[in-house]
Amino acid sequence: MRRWPLYGGGLALLQAALLSACDRAAEAPAPAPITNAVAPVVEAPAPSGPERLILAFGDSLYAGYGLDRGQSLPEAVQARLRRDGINAKIVNAGVSGDTSAAGRQRFAFALDNMARKPDLVLIGLGGNDVLRQISPAETRMNMTAMLDEAKRRGIPVVLTGMMAPPNLGPDFSSQFNAIWPDLAKRYDATLYPFILDGVIGNAQLMQADHIHPNQTGVNKIADRVAPIVETALKKAE
């Protein structure tokens, strides 16, 4: 798959937002424990044919932070798959605030609580690792553990990647940004390199925090991600 361009004009906005968020994170108390529960997305009419069960496992960018019910990325992707004639059901296990370490702790639980083994897993974590400036080595270790678990269970994976802004330094950025393409190659996973590509930096597509997409932004991301998920499902048949 081709590499998506870096986030250009949105980089300065993301940098400022990350710096502000990091300052707030340093001052704020630790977040309360979050439930491990997974929630099915709002149902839309499903086409005929065998159901393709998908687990969307990520952070606030999957959970639909700041959006109304029915507007999250997994729901938007599900709607597009169904529109294309695929009887897809996506279970949204996005949890706002999750780091890769928190995701690693609940990944097996989420899989165990599916109605059956999913046909595909979408993994979208890493943004909160950047916010907390967690070591890229730790992020890589956590992502690797989740991919190991998916491989052990025989479940194909789509990775929606994250990128670090340059204000964290060239060493951090190069180590962090390499995680997703490296793991995609190692585990033969499908890769969408940067989940906010084409959205970050555009005020019409982002919420006021400049980090989370609004509904229009989510729809733009879904337009790009859904065909990748569709291809991955066909590959997994």
DSSP 206: B
The C-alpha atoms of residue 146 and residue 143 are separated, in whole angstroms, by: 5
- Do the Cβ atoms of 131 and 22 come closer than 8 Å? yes
Cα-flanking dihedrals φ and ψ of residue 85, to 5°? 90, 10
Shortest CA distance to 194 belongs to which of 206, 179, 208? Answer: 179
Residues in the chain: 237
Active site residues: 60, 209, 212
* Residues in CB range of 107: below 8 A, 6 or more apart: 57, 145, 146, 149
The tokens of 219 are what?
């729809």
